[in-house]
Amino acid sequence: MTDADSTALAGEIATTCRLTGTFTLRSGRVADEYFDKYRFEADPRLLDRVAARLAALVPPGTEVLAGLEMGGIPVVTALGRHTGLPCAFVRKTAKAYGTARLAEGADVAGRRVLVVEDVVTSGGQVVISTGQLRELGARIDQALCVIDRSEGGTEALAAQGIRLTALFTRADLDAQRG
């Protein structure tokens, strides 16, 4: 993808997903802007373009893509189509019935796993889920997201030995404001 293609994709995501108003984030912080990732995840054409671009960012040696509930699930499914890698779907908590598993789909034990998220703000859920996956035997040192809001997530993940790579940062999307 050329720089022009990347800029165009950032512009489309910014236009499609950026909402203004008053929003309470997962961290509890109140923001005047929100990136509604479900708007690009629900658009098959746009999600496919995002996944194609993300595929180039998957580190060599990755054995499993792990999408976090809920927004990371469509992203990881689309990304798996582009990479051919198996996917695990990671719940926030293990279900109390059936298989009672935290991670459904591909087995993560003993495998090099890339955690995939849609939007990272503080990195809190990625840190929690990575810890849980590591307890299951996953080897994790990297995470990939579509949008990094650049509000401490990179640093929080680095403190846990995880390098975050983002398709777009908040600055990339801010640059698309007309």
For residue 3, say whether it is annotated as part of any ligand binding site: no
For residue 125, say whether it is annotated as part of any ligand binding site: yes
d(Cα 98, Cα 86) in Å, to the nearest integer? 22
Phi-psi region of 21 (alpha: psi -120 to 50; beta: other; left: phi over 0): left
For residue 18, say whether it is annotated as part of any ligand binding site: no
CATH number at residue 7: 3.40.50.2020
Q: What is the pLDDT of residue 25?
A: 79
The residue behind tokens 């990347």 is: 6
For residue 124, say whether it is annotated as part of any ligand binding site: yes
Q: What is the pLDDT of residue 26?
A: 75
Per-residue pLDDT of the chain (178 residues; tens, 9 = 90+): 568 888 999 999 999 999 999 999 777 889 898 889 999 999 999 999 999 999 999 999 999 999 999 999 999 999 999 999 999 999 998 878 877 799 999 999 999 999 999 999 899 999 999 999 999 999 999 999 999 999 999 999 999 999 999 999 999 999 987 5
CB 153 within 8 A of CB 174: no
Number of domains comprising the chain: 1
For residue 111, the enclosing domain spans 3-174
For residue 69, say whether it is annotated as part of any ligand binding site: no
Strand partners, 145: 117, 166
For residue 95, say whether it is annotated as part of any ligand binding site: yes
